[in-house]
Structure 1
Amino acid sequence: MTGRSRKPAVRGPALQGLVSVPVEDQTVLSLSVTEIRTGGAHQPRRRAQEANLETLASSISERGILQPLLVRSTPSGYELVAGERRLRAAVLAGLTQVPVLVRELNDHEALEAALIENLQREGLEIIDEVDSTLSLVANRLAIPRAAARDRLLEHLRRPELSDGLPELEALFHQLGRGSWQSFTKNKLRILNWPEAVLTAMRDRGLPYTIAGIIAAAPADHQSALLTFALKPATKLEVRAEAQRLNPPKVQGIDRQMSVQLAKRLSSERWLASLGKEDQRALEAWLKKMPDRVRQALQKQPT
């Protein structure tokens, strides 16, 4: 059964922009948790965020829910727009009623509210930040995500472009997470990483620092490194495995190649097989060797 109560609603400044009347003048309803439908098409999250859920549930048990959930009314009942973790923590804490704000929101507005709520979470992973921000840009400009990414990159390359720029400036100012230029330069680039790495970040919680090591490795080592990292392994362990798979080169020459070269040059049969032109070329090449290498070769074995 639905009841009514009046409580102050604590909201982030970005999310307040979706509420047409002052927050303190809104009526906060108390809804049964069974009345709230989750998993709407506008929800941006792909996987449940379990981190600190028990801590949040403990806090809710002691202090209650300080920020009401945002829901919208649909023909099939109330649908959650923002506050999924609070709702799940409330259920974990044993609450049967939760405070909500009911707003009339279309799909476009509901998606924006959900994305902003996601961006306001503490401890947000960078892949979630990039995905949510890019989806928010696409939603605000009413273009596909791929087009939104191209638009940001194009604005960065050609600052004189004005198409959609006022909306971008207003959006990032509203979010309070830095400029769109900083986001495009420093964070959007991770979407260039291999798709398997991005999928592991989104669906398996692969940390950004480890994902960066895998993305920087040679393409033929990335699959093995990803499997190794998801065991799971620490950043130091993944870096050590990357170095094992791709050992450093000596003075720009692969170690295996250096060993093979030494064997060839010490083989009288191989040297005798060279034609006169190849012998002259080899002699000229040996004259160009570094002095330190020449001195080492001239030392008599003991």
Structure 2
Amino acid sequence: MTRKRPNRPAGLDGLLQGASALADVPTVTLLTAQLRPAAFQPRQHFDPDTLTELADSIRKQGVLQPLLVRPSGAEFEIIAGERRWRAAQQAGLTHVPVYVRDLTDEQATRAALLENLHREDLNQYEEAAATLRLVALTLGVDEDTARARMYAAARGTNTEDRTVLEDLFAAASLGSWQSFTTNKLRILKYPDAIVQAMRGGLHYSIAAVIASAPETHQAELLALALGGAGYREVKARRAELEARPTPLRVDPARVTQVGKRIGSVKWLGTLDDRAQKDLQAWLNRMPDSVRKAMNLPD
């Protein structure tokens, strides 16, 4: 018996078509001063060096790909092409070519996400954040719920979303949703220092090694990576750090005193019923890690 495929979510076709169906939209020229970035721009980091390279190219060839904008009062909001707009200003251009479209907030957000996801220079944190936001829009939920549903789909406990995710990632050319869920979704929960480093270009494979290390080692590993160390070097240094003896965090004198008391049968014989019950209850609450370290039976 063939399993019935879930209905294609309303808005998925529009999401994909709306971002690319510009063939019938005429190109016009607007003043760079008339344009402003959108609040929902997926790209947050603009590398100065690559921006300068693009500005140099624009000086020689102009803006080859028009920006996508929408009317916003007396100005126009940039849906796709903020980087080109910034580079054009840096190159001294006063006008840029644009496509003007009337888009709702949701349509504009989707178009911006898709356009940026197909740019090679989008850093990996921004790529993960944009992909999750695209999934959330498609499922019609907030991003935390979308993340939970993706993990559930990957575990096989939520089969209804699997086809939706497969359709979305295939139609938007985003690769495998399973691979994204397993390898990249966790990026969004990394510590702030690691996230900032990724926004600056740190590769997610190195970031993953650092983020999964004990918190006490992360600063040193991050500094090593930012200094130019590669994946193998960072991983090897993490292994060295984790092989060190754990710093002593207990009071040796107090432990010795407790051990002598509990080890004395004579002292145990002086305890009344209440004290013996309390001592036994205390022993029963012994943490598993301590029990295993002492080779005690469960």
Query: One fold, TM greater than 0.5?
Result: yes
User: Which residue in 2 is equivalent to 1:116?
Assistant: 114
User: Which residue in 2 is equivalent to 1:24?
Assistant: 23
Verify: 1:201 aligned to 2:198, yes or no: yes
Q: What is the Cα deviation at residue 187 of structure 1?
A: 2.3
Q: 1:192 and 1:75, CA in 2 relative to 1: closer, same or farther beyond 3 A?
A: closer
Q: 1:237 and 1:173, CA in 2 relative to 1: closer, same or farther beyond 3 A?
A: closer
Q: Assess if the C-alpha contact under 8 Å between 1:152 and 1:184 holds in 2.
A: yes
Greater shift in the superposed pair: 26-35 or 84-93: 84-93
**TM-score, normalised relative to structure 2:** 0.68
Q: Assess if the C-alpha contact under 8 Å between 2:129 and 2:188 holds in 1.
A: no
The sequence identity of aligned pairs, in percent, is 44
Which segments of structure 1 move beyond 6 Å, counting only runs of 4 or more? none
User: Which residue in 2 is equivalent to 1:182?
Assistant: 179
Q: Distance in 1 between matches of 2:16 and 2:147?
A: 26
Q: Distance in 1 between matches of 2:247 and 2:94?
A: 67
Q: Assess if the C-alpha contact under 8 Å between 2:66 and 2:98 holds in 1.
A: yes
Q: Assess if the C-alpha contact under 8 Å between 2:67 and 2:99 holds in 1.
A: yes
Q: Unaligned regions of 5+ residues in structure 1, if any?
A: 1-13, 249-253, 258-302
Q: Distance in 2 between matches of 1:240 and 1:224?
A: 13
Q: Assess if the C-alpha contact under 8 Å between 1:44 and 1:132 holds in 2.
A: yes
User: Which residue in 1 is equivalent to 2:63?
Assistant: 65
User: Which residue in 2 is equivalent to 1:91?
Assistant: 89
User: Which residue in 2 is equivalent to 1:225?
Assistant: 221
Q: 1:116 and 1:223, CA in 2 relative to 1: closer, same or farther beyond 3 A?
A: same
Question: Counterpart of 2:211 in structure 1: which amino acid?
Answer: A
Q: Assess if the C-alpha contact under 8 Å between 1:125 and 1:208 holds in 2.
A: no
Q: 1:73 and 1:153, CA in 2 relative to 1: closer, same or farther beyond 3 A?
A: same
Greater shift in the superposed pair: 68-77 or 124-133: 124-133
User: Which residue in 2 is equivalent to 1:283?
Assistant: none
Q: 2:128 is paired with a residue of what secondary structure?
A: helix
Q: 1:49 and 1:105, CA in 2 relative to 1: closer, same or farther beyond 3 A?
A: farther
User: Which residue in 1 is equivalent to 2:242?
Assistant: 246
**TM-score, normalised relative to structure 1:** 0.67
Please say which structure displays the higher CA radius of gyration.
1
Q: 1:30 is paired with a residue of what secondary structure?
A: strand
Verify: 1:211 aligned to 2:215, yes or no: no
Q: Distance in 1 between matches of 2:225 and 2:19?
A: 43
